[in-house]
Amino acid sequence: MSLPDLIVRPRRLRRTATIRKMVRETTLSASDFIYPVFVDETIDAPLEVASMPGVSRIPLSMVGEVTRQVSELGIPGIILFGIPAEKDAVGSGGWDDQGIVQQAIRAAKAASPDTCVIADTCFCEYTDHGHCGVLHGEDVDNDETLANLQKEAISYARAGVDIVAPSGMMDGMIAAIRGALDEAGFKNIPIISYAVKYASGYFGPFRDAADSTPSFGDRASYQMDPANRREALKEAWLDVEEGADMLMVKPALAYMDIIREVKDATNLPMAVYNVSGEYAMVKAAAEKGWIDEKRVVLETMLSFKRAGADLILSYHALDVARWLQEDKG
């Protein structure tokens, strides 16, 4: 049988590793990553998170060491989550100038002044009920929580934070925080908004890490329905209009369609959060020998970039940075 007169041959550009590298459309570097750090006021040695192998809560005394390690690997920033010694109904530890995150901010900046220190700005780690704001009955009061978010963001700014990252999905949170920061003299502090955050089953292990499991119910009344796509665009545009400097989609793995749509619809830098459940699944499968951990992680991270991510918050960040260094060498 004869072949067609003309065969289009895309394989020509896949023939050698060098050619493939020359025409590669998407690349990864350590500078694409932000490393999450859990700082626990109640411990004096690292405490491994059982559901997240390789991730530990650390004491305040180790924040400088971890920040320097991140910097030495070429990762530009960390995002801090604090576990306080005491919690209350409104999460007042979040705006205590001597709180655990405020102390961690100062320690991180002292150890590595050029590292970008981001503070997750929410209350689930600080409330004794595990929800993200002030409760009236079993409902989170949006506007009372906004007032507390303003105090929390200002306190982080006073501590020397580089960026605040509100994650509670309260209506109007970006406008409230932007106005408060500006009024307090912190006009140059950017805001990364967790603009599109779904009520996801992928968050499970994080709640072990951050000690933030709700004492009742769930967060579906303020986080988004995983079924919704148009709502994601609405939420993103609201935050653009309110003054967000960067947007985030969380989780990442099951929402790459949303990452691409939000990226195409807006003109702000896009962060994605490769969340704890995504991390734990890879670790568990790798431990069983079912997958090649390095290959799967790098492929997943590359997919986030291809979908539109400019920054990736990931517990894999240290490993990825090391693997990239090894591959260069």
Q: Determine whether 109 is an active site residue.
A: no
Q: Give CA angle at 166 (84, 268), nearest 5°.
A: 150
Tokens of residue 45, six digits: 């040695």
CA pseudo-torsion sign 235, 223, 96, 42: negative
235 is in an annotated binding site: yes
Among 262, 250, 256, 246, smallest CA distance to 300 is for: 256
SS3 assignment, position 192: strand
> What phi and psi, each to the nearest 5 degrees, are found at residue 174?
-70, -45
Q: Determine whether 87 is an active site residue.
A: no
| Radius of gyration of the chain measured on its C-alpha atoms | 21
Q: What is the dihedral of CA 90, 153, 54, 48, to 10 degrees?
A: -30
Tokens of residue 93, six digits: 């530890």
202 is in an annotated binding site: no
SS3 assignment, position 8: coil
> Catalytic pick from 87, 250, 263, 305?
250
Q: What is the DSSP letter of 89?
A: S
Query: Is the separation of the CB atoms in 216 and 129 below 8 Å?
Result: yes
315 is in an annotated binding site: yes
> Catalytic pick from 197, 263, 283, 305?
197
219 is in an annotated binding site: yes
Among 192, 197, 194, 196, smallest CA distance to 246 is for: 192
Query: Is the separation of the CB atoms in 118 and 78 below 8 Å?
Result: yes
- Between CA 244 and CA 194 the distance in angstroms is 10
20 is in an annotated binding site: no
Annotated binding site for Mg(2+): 235
Q: Which residues are annotated as a binding site for Zn(2+)?
A: 122, 124, 132
Q: Residue ranges for the binding site for 5-aminolevulinate?
A: 207, 219, 276, 315
- Residue set of the binding site: 122, 124, 132, 207, 219, 235, 276, 315
**Active-site residue numbers?**
197, 250
